[in-house]
């Protein structure tokens, strides 16, 4: 088969260049590791300055740490904490005043300074802080009412109240909207694996446009055309070659991340469909760029720009759910957003192929448009 011969040539050319192994495989795995280590536990970090650290201050910090999705870090003073918030090491900062315990134990109100980065996690942190504060405020308010009714000191009332071991008569239970229990938090590398798979499959397919230009520049295309192969066979060979490379890359990322980081890839049919459809989109976009530009020096940066920008907008750098609502709508211009949505449904909610069919259809539509355009351009640049 002449088509297969062209596919084989494409593969040989790509893998003969060792650096490609780095970009196709080592780089994505490195990032999955890096992101998993940095953000994998998905807890939001809150920095705390504890002041003189009385027992009430310590109790508040412990209460904060108990809030779901929150994790505390201690800082020695306010300016160190401010710096940490500014640099994004923690999402928000709380400064518990030095006289916190004294104020509260003498029945005076205490005020905690709170500051956050102006990002989309801020409201969540704010409410979690409120919840922790109201949990601590519970005993204090009860003690004040006790003191007002029975007299005595506030300290005595606090002791009396703390001795009452009673939970809230109102419990809170989490349920998943799709039915059943709300899933526990995912593995450390779960989120980064699927987002980085998309980022790199697309990026590599786009920067692969350079190879198509080289095919023309070195005259490989002309030589292929002088053989008895038809233009159609050559185009099919080139496209299949690029598709096989993208699929191989995706498959290797799936297998390695499963083996090394125990990433769960969910329903094989669903994941397979997403990867097949998305890789077609990527190949179409890559071929289109490869046919729109004349030199490698232009195509390479354009591929990088489009590849990284789409990944950023489409939720492969920061998760879509942290986007503001309007931005989330705009994000769905990119195929990444649809694929990320599909992976979320599959991997977070544990759905199957039937729950992601719409996303897959949209991806197929993208692929169809891009591949049609690319075929049309490819025929022109090969035969002109």
- To the nearest whole angstrom, how small is the minimum distance from the Cβ of residue 284 to other proteins? 21
Please select the residue that binds other proteins; options are 12, 74, 77, 141, rule is CB under 8 A: 141
Residues from 117 through 136 that contact other proteins (CB under 8 A): 117-124, 126-131, 133-136
Rounded Cα gap, residues 142 and 140, in angstroms:
5
Question: In the complex with other proteins, which residue's Cβ is closer, 154 or 236?
Answer: 154
The residue count of the chain comes to 384
Residues 286, 230, 232: CA angle, nearest 5 degrees? 35
- To the nearest whole angstrom, how small is the minimum distance from the Cβ of residue 318 to other proteins? 5
Contact (Cβ atoms closer than 8 angstroms) between residue 53 and residue 76: no
Question: In the complex with other proteins, which residue's Cβ is closer, 192 or 246?
Answer: 192
Residue 23 touches other proteins, criterion: CB under 8 A:
yes
Instruction: At 44, give phi and psi (nearest 5°).
Output: -85, 135
Rounded Cα gap, residues 74 and 76, in angstroms:
7
Q: Which stretch binds other proteins (CB under 8 A): 32-40, 229-237, 274-282, 361-369?
A: 32-40
Rounded Cα gap, residues 364 and 273, in angstroms:
10
Give one DSSP letter per residue of 225-251, joined into a string: HHSS--HHHHHHHHHHHHHHHHHHHHH
Please select the residue that binds other proteins; options are 11, 25, 112, 292, rule is CB under 8 A: 112
Rounded Cα gap, residues 223 and 226, in angstroms:
5
Rounded Cα gap, residues 314 and 307, in angstroms:
10
Residues from 173 through 212 that contact other proteins (CB under 8 A): 173-179, 182-183
Site track for other proteins across 284-303, x = CB under 8 A: -----------x-xx-xxx-
Torsion, CA 293, CA 295, CA 299, CA 302, rounded to 10:
-80
Question: In the complex with other proteins, which residue's Cβ is closer, 76 or 228?
Answer: 76
Residues from 70 through 109 that contact other proteins (CB under 8 A): 82-83, 85-90, 94, 104, 107, 109
Residue 39 touches other proteins, criterion: CB under 8 A:
yes
Tokens at 241, concatenated: 């070659």
Q: Which stretch binds other proteins (CB under 8 A): 6-14, 308-316, 358-366, 375-383?
A: 308-316
Question: In the complex with other proteins, which residue's Cβ is closer, 1 or 38?
Answer: 38
Q: Which residues of 15-36 are buried (b: 16+ CB within 10 A; e: fewer)?
A: eeeeebeebbbeebbebbbebb
Rounded Cα gap, residues 230 and 241, in angstroms:
16
Question: In the complex with other proteins, which residue's Cβ is closer, 239 or 285?
Answer: 285
Please select the residue that binds other proteins; options are 283, 345, 370, 371, rule is CB under 8 A: 345
Please select the residue that binds other proteins; options are 12, 15, 34, 219, rule is CB under 8 A: 34
Q: Which stretch binds other proteins (CB under 8 A): 5-13, 245-253, 322-330, 366-374?
A: 322-330
Rounded Cα gap, residues 52 and 30, in angstroms:
42
Question: In the complex with other proteins, which residue's Cβ is closer, 228 or 324?
Answer: 324
- To the nearest whole angstrom, how small is the minimum distance from the Cβ of residue 233 to other proteins? 29
Q: Which residues, in sequence order, are CB contacts of 326 under 8 Å at separation 6+?
A: none
Residue 151 touches other proteins, criterion: CB under 8 A:
no
> Number of residues in contact with other proteins, rule: CB under 8 A?
116
Residues from 227 through 256 that contact other proteins (CB under 8 A): none
Q: Fill in the DSSP letter of residue 179.
A: S
Residue 55 touches other proteins, criterion: CB under 8 A:
no
Strand partners of residue 92: 46, 116
């Amino acid at each position: 088969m002449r088509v297969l011969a062209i596919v084989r040539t494409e593969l040989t050319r790509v893998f003969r260049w060792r650096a490609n192994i780095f970009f196709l495989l080592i780089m994505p795995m490195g990032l999955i590791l890096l992101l998993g280590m940095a953000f994998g536990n998905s807890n939001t970090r809150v920095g705390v300055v504890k002041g003189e650290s009385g027992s009430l201050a310590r109790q508040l910090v412990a209460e904060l740490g108990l809030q779901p999705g929150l994790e505390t870090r201690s800082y020695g003073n306010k300016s160190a904490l401010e710096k940490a918030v500014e640099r994004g090491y923690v999402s928000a900062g709380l400064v518990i005043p030095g006289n916190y315990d004294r104020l509260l134990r003498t029945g005076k109100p205490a005020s905690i300074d709170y500051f956050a980065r102006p990002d989309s996690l801020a409201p969540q942190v704010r409410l979690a802080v409120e919840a922790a504060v109201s949990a601590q405020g519970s005993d204090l308010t009860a003690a004040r009412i006790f003191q007002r009714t029975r007299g005595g000191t506030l300290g005595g009332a606090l002791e009396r109240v703390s001795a009452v071991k009673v939970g809230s008569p109102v419990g809170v239970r989490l349920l998943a909207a799709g039915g059943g229990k709300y899933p526990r938090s995912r593995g450390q590398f779960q989120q980064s694996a699927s987002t980085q798979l998309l980022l790199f499959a697309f990026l590599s397919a786009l920067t692969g446009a350079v190879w198509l230009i080289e095919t023309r520049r070195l005259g490989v295309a002309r030589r292929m055309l002088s053989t008895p192969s038809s233009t159609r066979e050559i185009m099919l060979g080139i496209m299949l070659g690029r598709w096989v490379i993208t699929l191989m890359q995706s498959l290797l990322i799936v297998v390695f991340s499963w083996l090394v980081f125990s990433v769960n890839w969910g329903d094989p049919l669903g994941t397979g469909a997403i990867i097949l459809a998305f890789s077609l989109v990527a190949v179409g976009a890559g071929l289109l760029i490869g046919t729109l530009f004349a030199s490698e020096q232009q195509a390479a940066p354009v591929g990088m720009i489009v590849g990284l920008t789409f990944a950023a907008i489409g939720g492969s750098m920061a998760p879509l759910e942290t986007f503001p609502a309007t931005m989330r709508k705009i994000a769905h211009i990119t195929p990444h957003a649809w694929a990320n949505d599909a992976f979320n449904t599959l991997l977070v909610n544990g759905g199957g192929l039937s729950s992601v069919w719409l996303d897959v259809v949209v991806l197929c539509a993208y692929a169809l448009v891009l591949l049609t355009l690319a075929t049309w351009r490819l025929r022109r640049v090969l035969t002109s």
